[in-house]
Each structure stands twice: as structure tokens, then as C-alpha cells.
């Protein structure tokens, strides 16, 4: 291990996604991208993967088991386990962190997650709600063609190495899993009224213009829930380090945040 010692979680996630893009279907790529972004957001900005500990991975396991509906947690954790296995096999990290990705579930966890009076509702912006509804409709439309692919592939009597059959079944499984997640999210979601409340301070749905003081670089972000976060498009989660730092800020506020090069100071230029 030499240069790989300083690779961040974000950098390695991008490297892994490049492999997924070469070898997987579009629906699977989107699924892996979502879960890797969630993992990157959970880590502090600029986190070096090599410096993560088994305890950190255990904490992330608990985070996922406590997020959303538990039937989907196994699939989410499996993606992270595969990512960490990839890093270990390719000598990108020394420690085998994948072995610490385990489901942790107790009766009290289930009660907290499924209790009708305590389950936390997902907050979505109007555009985020619309996008999730459109994604749900698209995925439901893919069910029929995928089922036909499975039927055609299954018609081949030699199923021992029937790659098309396995690929279609796997993709349908990912599609059905995502459909369940979207249905549950949309059913429990509350839509943020962007017209209500003060526009002076940062809240969910706010668009924030920032200046990184040292580099003089400017950036614009929209603060959203983790469900509709797309960091590469400037839509950052309120649970991400930047999202947490921005919460309740007003124009003119300055704050420090860890970046790959060290600490950097930012100034809020505009909140809308």
C-alpha cells in the first residue's frame, strides 16, 4: 500500500462505479450509485477509506438498519459489503472491512421502525416528490418486459449456465426492491411548502450560494432530504457534512468544514 493510503471514500466509490458501469445493467447501476452516495454522505467530507475502523462500519450498519424499512436494509448493506470487498481484493485498502458489514436487528429496533406513532416521515421537496413518482412509474413499466425476458430465457432447457436468465432475474429483483422503497417513501412522505417560513435561513428546499474563501471558488447547492440527494448535481442531503453545516445559516455567515486538503472556510452569499 502506497499511494492508495490517501484515497478517499468518494474517490474509491467512483472507481468502483466505473467497474459497475462496464458490467451491469442501467437499473443496477442506479441502485449501486444511490447506495454508494449514501455511504459517502455518511462519512465525513474527505474521509480516507483506509482510516475507517471496524467500529465505523458497525456504526454505519446500525445507521442503515435504523433508516427506512428493514426489508431493504440487507440489500443496501450488501452493496457496501461488495464495495469494501472490491477495495480489499484490489489492494486499495489493507483491512478487510467488509466482514464487519452485518445486519443488526432487535425487537426494539423493529418496534421503533414500524410503530405507527413513532415512524419518522420523509420530507420531500415538490420537485423531489415528482421525480420519485416518475421513477416509480418508469420502474413499474419495466416489470412486463423483464418478465418476458425471464420467460424467454427460461425457455432454454439448459439452465445450468443460463446467463440471460440470471441477469433478467437479478434485474427484476433490484427493480421490485426499488419499487417497494419508493412506494413506502411516497406513502409516508410530507411535501415541504417552500412558500412557508423565512427564506432568510437555510432549510430543506433552500438554494444556497457559497464562496470558499481561500480558493475564491463559488458553488450553489440545494438542501434536500437524503432520499432525493444527488451530490453530483448539487442536491445535497441535510445529513451530509455540508448539509449539517448549512442548516439554519443566513446570508453572510461563515463556517469551517473539513475538505480533502484540510479545513476550509465558507461564506454564505445568498439563500433563496
Q: What is the pLDDT of residues 238-260, one digit of tens each?
A: 888 899 999 899 999 999 988 76
Asked whether residue 114 carries a pLDDT value surpassing 60, the answer given is no
Q: What is the pLDDT of residue 270?
A: 93
pLDDT tens digits along 64-75 = 776 544 446 777
User: Do 141 and 251 reside in the same domain of the chain?
Assistant: no
Domain range for 250 is: 207-271
- Same domain? For 175 and 252 the reply is no
> How many Cα atoms occupy the beta-carbon half-sphere of 269 within 13 Å?
12
Q: Are 76 and 126 in a shared domain?
A: no
In a domain, 82, yes or no: yes
Residue 196 lies in a domain: no
pLDDT of 117 above 90:
no
Report the pLDDT averaged over residues 197-213: 87
Q: Are residues 17 and 85 in the same domain?
A: yes
pLDDT at 271: 93
Judgement on whether residues 134 and 178 belong to the same structural domain of the protein? yes
Q: In this predicted model, what pLDDT tens digit does every residue of 87-113 receive, in sequence order?
A: 988 888 888 888 888 765 444 444 333
- Kindly report whether the global pTM for this prediction surpasses the value 0.85: no
Residue 182 has pLDDT above 60, yes or no: yes
CATH for 249: 3.10.50.30
**Domain assignment present for 22:** yes
Q: Are residues 112 and 133 in the same domain?
A: no
Amino acid at each position: 500500500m502506497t499511494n492508495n493510503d490517501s484515497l478517499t471514500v468518494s474517490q474509491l466509490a467512483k472507481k468502483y462505479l466505473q467497474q459497475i458501469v462496464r458490467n451491469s445493467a442501467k437499473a443496477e447501476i442506479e441502485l449501486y450509485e444511490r447506495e454508494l452516495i449514501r455511504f459517502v454522505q455518511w462519512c465525513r467530507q474527505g474521509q480516507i477509506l483506509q482510516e475507517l475502523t471496524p467500529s465505523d462500519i458497525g456504526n454505519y450498519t446500525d445507521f442503515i438498519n435504523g433508516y427506512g424499512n428493514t426489508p431493504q436494509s440487507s440489500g443496501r448493506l450488501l452493496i457496501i459489503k461488495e464495495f469494501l470487498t472490491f477495495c480489499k481484493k484490489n489492494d486499495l485498502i489493507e483491512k478487510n472491512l467488509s466482514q464487519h458489514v452485518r445486519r443488526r436487528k432487535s425487537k426494539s429496533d423493529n418496534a421503533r421502525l414500524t410503530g405507527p406513532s413513532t415512524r419518522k416521515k420523509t420530507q420531500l421537496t415538490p420537485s423531489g416528490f415528482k421525480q420519485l413518482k416518475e421513477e416509480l412509474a418508469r420502474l413499474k413499466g419495466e416489470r412486463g418486459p423483464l418478465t418476458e425476458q425471464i420467460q424467454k430465457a427460461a425457455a432454454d432447457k439448459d439452465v445450468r449456465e443460463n446467463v440471460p436468465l440470471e441477469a433478467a432475474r437479478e434485474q427484476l429483483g433490484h427493480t421490485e426492491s426499488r419499487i417497494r422503497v419508493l412506494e413506502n417513501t411516497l406513502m409516508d412522505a410530507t411535501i415541504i411548502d417552500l412558500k412557508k417560513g423565512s427564506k432568510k435561513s437555510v432549510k430543506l428546499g433552500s438554494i444556497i450560494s457559497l464562496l470558499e474563501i481561500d480558493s475564491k471558488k463559488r458553488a450553489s447547492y440545494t438542501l434536500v432530504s437524503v432520499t432525493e440527494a444527488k451530490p453530483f448535481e448539487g442536491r445535497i442531503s441535510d445529513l451530509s457534512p455540508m448539509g449539517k453545516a448549512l442548516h439554519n445559516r443566513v446570508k453572510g455567515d461563515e463556517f469551517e468544514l473539513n475538505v480533502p486538503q484540510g479545513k476550509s472556510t465558507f461564506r454564505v452569499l445568498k439563500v433563496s
